[in-house]
Structure 1
């Protein structure tokens, strides 16, 4: 049992909890700052101004001390993680001596991580060699999470939104609005022309932790030849996809609501209501897809056309169609709803990239193995699309 690694994991967990508490305090400081700004604008007498100045001095000193605490805590956490990584690299697990040949290769490192995670699972969290720890659990390298094969009809909405890799649990992400501004022609040696100021909005994100139990039997744990990491990869990939799809769809449903009547309504939506700078797609319920799949134009041709690039194999009005379960993009079976617009511009997926497994105490079953993912999904551009409710026109289009 690697006691020093267990102790380091405990210290890291405590330090991460301390930083999270400090960040919560940061939000309180930001709230105080806004309150002071309001007080400054409302101050009318010199006495009120003096009182506010004293509050500002007090706030400034407290904020500087707080920021210094955050910086120091983050440095300490970084040092602990470096120490843990050095310890993991310098101390191979039992029976792993055959990996010393070619240790520097990526394959050897991944194989070491795989064996370490397998040992961690089989020992119910007692053996902690050969992998990086996070929050007391085993961090799974992204390369081990990549599935070997995935059915083509499985929709993963992460492929359609903007992925932003983040290194902290919370923060702000600047988004520049697609205003349609253009560049100016400049003659050689001429002064730079005045350019339109970009509209920048800071999107706040807060990474949340999602846990899901991994069904793993004692027989699998006891079988030394069974690749536990492979089972974990398949289960986490499936649960993660279901969870992220649900959360991304929930954000897409926050788009401006719009009722669309008939095919002409869909054409007006795409051609007039959404700016041309956006790459429009149809993210629709299965019921709406079934409804549109029956429609024909005046020449008797089906409106849904074959597409080799769209996930559904179909396109509508020259745009790709992505089909989702009714209760995911809607609320219940039979909903004729969907998001029409540029999903990548409309929302962002803030990925902490710290997928891990951890043995968690359970009151009924003792210890259960849990897969853990960390991310947040936020709306970034309100103008990038609409959440539509479709109705057939009276003419039957």
Structure 2
């Protein structure tokens, strides 16, 4: 821990010197603009020689300052790399005592934001940005109609940017009884598929006003946590829905077609759900059977408040699980077995260049979603029965 503190102090001091170099650059730029005017105004040979001498002197100062700045930036990068390496080796239970250390991290992130990336002391950095600890990213109180698709598919925490994840296909095999001391019977061999994953980095801008940067009492870490949590949920929901739409396509006509799919199309080893577009949900919600009873049944445990043939119903916007408004589509199957979310759990913020606004604070999340069992569900396109 002492080594980390010493490195953080060195980085802090180096950043201060780097800020001084930046101020000197501004002064040199001002002097350069003044010299340009002097060149235009010079008339005599003596005046031209004086300006020429001053120009050479300024260019030399500029080169020397740039060399110092490049050298210092390289040293800072090495120090930050050493600090990151030490932090990654330190046991998790020793990294921070809750309370005091969390406050230090919050203050460090706040200084990073307010200094626009110049001050990087007090927190773990990643790729030049500030790593946001997972415990600071506590989910906010969700709205009643907010849907988190990460809860209905399988999640795997990974520690590398890419790899392969072994998946055992649900075969429906069973064990066999064995008499004492008899030879073990031949069991069905499990079908193991290795699913490759490749972690993607997603970036979204975080609205930080100058007032927030200037306000010493503003909870910067809290604001970042809330904004990233929102963007993270929306991004993952979209990625998961995209993978669900890649399921084997199946056209279904009428209520009997739906019943046949539920009854015989999907193995009973799967925990089937119906993830429907809002338009398909509405179509089925208005449908009555031959006895005049509505097709969907009430279910207070379901997010939609309804069941279809006894199965949970989840409703998504048409353009999320479908493409256009009015699409009668949905995923029917076991989403937890069909797809997996490979979560790197390395959320960070970083000041990035922007062609219009100069610099903006960006949030980064890292994950991948992959289809792992294609037999676990279908992407259904529904056609109502023609009116008789």
* Superposition TM-score, scaled by structure 2 size: 0.77
Tell me the equivalent position of 1:326. 318
Deviations 1:9-35 (A, max 9, x none): 83599xxxxxxxxxxxxxxxxxxxxxx
- C-alpha distance in structure 2 between counterparts of 1:338 and 1:105, whole Å: 46
Is the aligned partner of 1:282 residue 2:274? yes
Report if the CA contact (8 A) 2:140-2:226 is conserved. Answer: no
- C-alpha distance in structure 2 between counterparts of 1:146 and 1:164, whole Å: 19
Is the aligned partner of 1:158 residue 2:165? no
Tell me the equivalent position of 1:4. 11
Is the aligned partner of 1:343 residue 2:335? yes
How far off is 1:188 after superposition?
Answer: 3.2
- C-alpha distance in structure 2 between counterparts of 1:332 and 1:199, whole Å: 38
* Superposition TM-score, scaled by structure 1 size: 0.75
Equivalent residue for 2:369, pick from 364, 377, 381: 377
Instruction: Classify 1:270/1:205 alpha carbon distance in 2 versus 1 (closer, same or farther; 3 Å).
Output: same
Tell me the equivalent position of 2:183. 191
Unpaired runs of at least 5, structure 2 = 1-7, 13-72
For the residue of structure 2 that corresponds to 1:173, the secondary structure is strand
Tell me the equivalent position of 1:67. none
For the residue of structure 1 that corresponds to 2:99, the secondary structure is helix
Instruction: Classify 1:195/1:7 alpha carbon distance in 2 versus 1 (closer, same or farther; 3 Å).
Output: farther
Tell me the equivalent position of 1:392. 384
How far off is 1:86 after superposition?
Answer: 8.2
Report if the CA contact (8 A) 2:348-2:364 is conserved. Answer: yes
Q: Displaced runs of 4+ in structure 1, greater than 4 A?
A: 5-9, 84-87
How far off is 1:328 after superposition?
Answer: 1.1
Tell me the equivalent position of 2:64. none
For structure 1, which segment, 277-286 or 228-237, has the greater mean C-alpha deviation from structure 2 after superposition?
228-237
- C-alpha distance in structure 2 between counterparts of 1:383 and 1:327, whole Å: 25
Report if the CA contact (8 A) 2:201-2:364 is conserved. Answer: yes
Equivalent residue for 1:82, pick from 85, 89, 92: 85
Unpaired runs of at least 5, structure 1 = 14-76, 90-102
How far off is 1:148 after superposition?
Answer: 3.1
Instruction: Classify 1:127/1:86 alpha carbon distance in 2 versus 1 (closer, same or farther; 3 Å).
Output: farther
Tell me the equivalent position of 1:229. 221
Trace 1:204-223 onto structure 2 (pairs within 5 A). Answer: 204-223=196-215
- C-alpha distance in structure 2 between counterparts of 1:255 and 1:12, whole Å: 48
Trace 1:27-176 onto structure 2 (pairs within 5 A). Answer: 81-84=84-87, 105-176=97-168
- C-alpha distance in structure 1 between counterparts of 2:162 and 2:280, whole Å: 37
Deviations 1:56-96 (A, max 9, x none): xxxxxxxxxxxxxxxxxxxxx8x763325689x9xxxxxxx
Tell me the equivalent position of 1:74. none
Report if the CA contact (8 A) 1:9-1:135 is conserved. Answer: no
How far off is 1:129 after superposition?
Answer: 2.2
- C-alpha distance in structure 1 between counterparts of 2:181 and 2:375, whole Å: 38
- C-alpha distance in structure 2 between counterparts of 1:361 and 1:269, whole Å: 52
- C-alpha distance in structure 2 between counterparts of 1:249 and 1:12, whole Å: 42
Tell me the equivalent position of 2:173. 181
- C-alpha distance in structure 2 between counterparts of 1:252 and 1:86, whole Å: 38
Quote the RMSD (CA, aligned, Å): 2.5
How far off is 1:387 after superposition?
Answer: 0.3
Tell me the equivalent position of 1:293. 285
Instruction: Classify 1:225/1:86 alpha carbon distance in 2 versus 1 (closer, same or farther; 3 Å).
Output: farther
Report if the CA contact (8 A) 1:153-1:312 is conserved. Answer: no
